[in-house]
Amino acid sequence: MRDATDRASNLLLIVILAGAAAMHFVPQVRDYLLTTWMVVALGGAAFLSLRLLQDRAQQEHDHLTRFHWMLLIVYLIHQFEEHGVDLLGRSYFFITYAQNLIGEFGPGGGFVLTPLAIYRTNTLVVWLPFLIAVWGGRRFIWPGLAVAGLLLANGVFHISVALWREEYNPGLGSAIVLFVPVGLLYFRFVRQHCGIGWPGIASGVLFGVAAHVALLLVIRLNLRSAPPAAAFAVVGLAPLIANVLLREDAAGAAGSAATAKDVT
């Protein structure tokens, strides 16, 4: 039974990684999704919400897995408000708003926020780690902590910008209503039910902050084109890679301790 579960889990990971690769390295797929991905996100949120309700009725997943799905659903809804149609009825206004915001800090130096950069950020730095969190579950929980930190940091960023400029920005509504409460509830849940202490929670929040700082550095460096897809993928997979390495180190230390005990 366990072998079958492991095979299904491994297959899911392969599908996730293959899907991410196809979305960014197959020109026909990438070009089609470049300006339509946020509509796909909204449809995905609706579909996953229905599946989540069904799973809850049938108790097919544990509470942590359902929480990870909920984090993804919340972010998909936010992405449509931010990059699809915002609460003021403006279609894909985020680029214009962001360019004006960058102008508040001085000349843009030629920096142009492109649909390709937005597409790569929102699929590889968001969709990929969120799906990895669903796959990892309790075995690899760092991706879950990381995406919750990303969600919470993004919500705080939207709210901070709104307070600073005293105006609505694309994505603010879902940031207030969904991001902050769901992010805090997730960290409360993993602390109470998954044995995650404050250092683990802090690591998740720091990942979210670091990801936003990295995006700001891209702006500061005045890059005229989007960084390669591989760079975004590395960021998205970083929590899983760190979690795997940590588990291996812990297992190696435990094995060494057991060997030493046997010798004595």
Sign of the CA dihedral with 19 first, then 17, 145, and 115 last: negative
Question: 234-243, pLDDT tens digit by residue?
Answer: 888 888 888 8
Residues 6+ apart with CB under 8 A from 82: 38, 94, 170, 171, 174
Question: 9-63, pLDDT tens digit by residue?
Answer: 778 888 999 999 999 999 999 999 999 999 999 999 999 999 888 876 666 568 8
Question: 125-166, pLDDT tens digit by residue?
Answer: 999 999 999 999 998 999 999 999 999 999 999 999 999 999
CB 126 within 8 A of CB 71: no
Question: 62-77, pLDDT tens digit by residue?
Answer: 889 999 999 999 999 9
pLDDT of residue 263: 37
Question: 187-242, pLDDT tens digit by residue?
Answer: 999 999 999 999 999 999 999 999 988 877 776 665 556 667 888 888 888 888 88
pLDDT of residue 194: 93
- Give the C-alpha separation, 183 to 5, whole Å: 29
Q: E-assigned strands of the chain?
A: none
The DSSP call for residue 227 is: P
Name the pLDDT band for 251 (thresholds 50, 70, 90): very low
Could you tell me which residues are beta bridge partners of residue 91? 85
Name the pLDDT band for 259 (thresholds 50, 70, 90): very low
| Alpha-carbon dihedral 231, 232, 233, 236, rounded to 10 degrees | 130
